[in-house]
Amino acid sequence: MSAFSERMNRLRSSFRMTRSGAIARRYFVIGAFDGALTILGVILGAYVSEGISNPALAKHLIIGAGVAGGIALAVSSTVGAYEAERVEHTLSHQQLEKAMLRPVEGTRKEAMRLSISVSAMAHGVAPLLAAFVPLVPFFFLTLDEAVVTAITLTLSFLFVLGAYLGSLIKEMIIYTGLRFVVAGLGTAIVLILIGMP
C-alpha cells in the first residue's frame, strides 16, 4: 500500500471515529447562511441609504464593507469553531479517560485534532465564499444592475444550500430550498423597510 493510500485510510478512519464529516457539513451550512445574509444586509443597507443620492459612494461602501465583513466573518467563524470544538473534544476525551481509568493517546488524539481543524476550516471558508460571490457584480456592473444580480445570486445560493440539505434527509429539495429562499427574502424586505426614509 502506498503512503498516500495509507494516509487516506487513516483520514477516513479519523473521520468515522469523530464524525467529522457531519460536524464539518453542519458548520459549513451555518457559516454559508451567515455569510450570505450578512453580505445581503451590507448590500441592501448601503443601497437603500445612498443608492439614489450617491450611487458611486454606495458602490464603494458595498465593496469595502462587504470585503471587510467577509474577512471578519471568516476569521470569527474559524476561531469560534476551533475553540468550541477544541473544548468539546477535550471534554469528551477527558470523560473517556476517566471511564477507562487511564490516559488515551495515539489514533484517537490524532483523530480529535483532525476533527477540530476540519470543523474550523469548514466554518471559516463557508462565509467567505458566501460573502464574496454576491460582491463580484459590483466590480463590473452599474449599481442597480449589481444589486439585482447580487440578490439573485444570494437567493440562488440559499436555494442550492437548502436543496442540498433536503437531499440528505430525502426531503423534497424544492421545499427545503424554498425555505432558505424565504428566509433570505424576508431578511431583504425587513432591511429595505428599515432603510426607507
In a domain, 1, yes or no: no
pLDDT single digits (tens) 34-90: 999 999 989 988 888 877 888 889 999 999 999 999 999 999 999 998 898 888 878
The answer to whether residue 4 is domain-embedded is no
User: What's the pLDDT score for residue 149?
Assistant: 95
Inside any domain, residue 143: yes
Contacts of residue 133, defined as CB under 8 A and 6 or more positions apart, other chains included, come to 153, 154, 157
Q: DSSP per residue over 99-142, as a string?
A: HHTS---THHHHHHHHHHHHHHHHHHHHHHHHHHGGGGGGGTS-
pLDDT in tens, 2-17: 666 676 666 666 667 6
The vertex-19 CA angle with 13 and 20, nearest 5°, equals 85
Q: What's the longest Cα–Cα distance across the chain?
A: 70
Q: Is residue 33 part of a domain?
A: yes
Would 78 be classed as within a structural domain? yes
87-104 confidence digits (pLDDT tens): 887 888 788 778 776 777
For the record, the C-alpha cell of 43 comes out as 448590500
> Cα(161)–Cα(179) distance, rounded to whole angstroms?
10
Domain count along the chain: 1
Asked if residue 111 belongs to a domain, the reply is yes
Tell whether 67 is covered by a domain: yes
Domain that holds residue 183: 20-195
pLDDT in tens, 152-181: 999 999 999 888 888 877 777 888 888 889
pTM for the full predicted model: 0.82
- Distance CA(178)–CA(196), nearest Å, equals 26
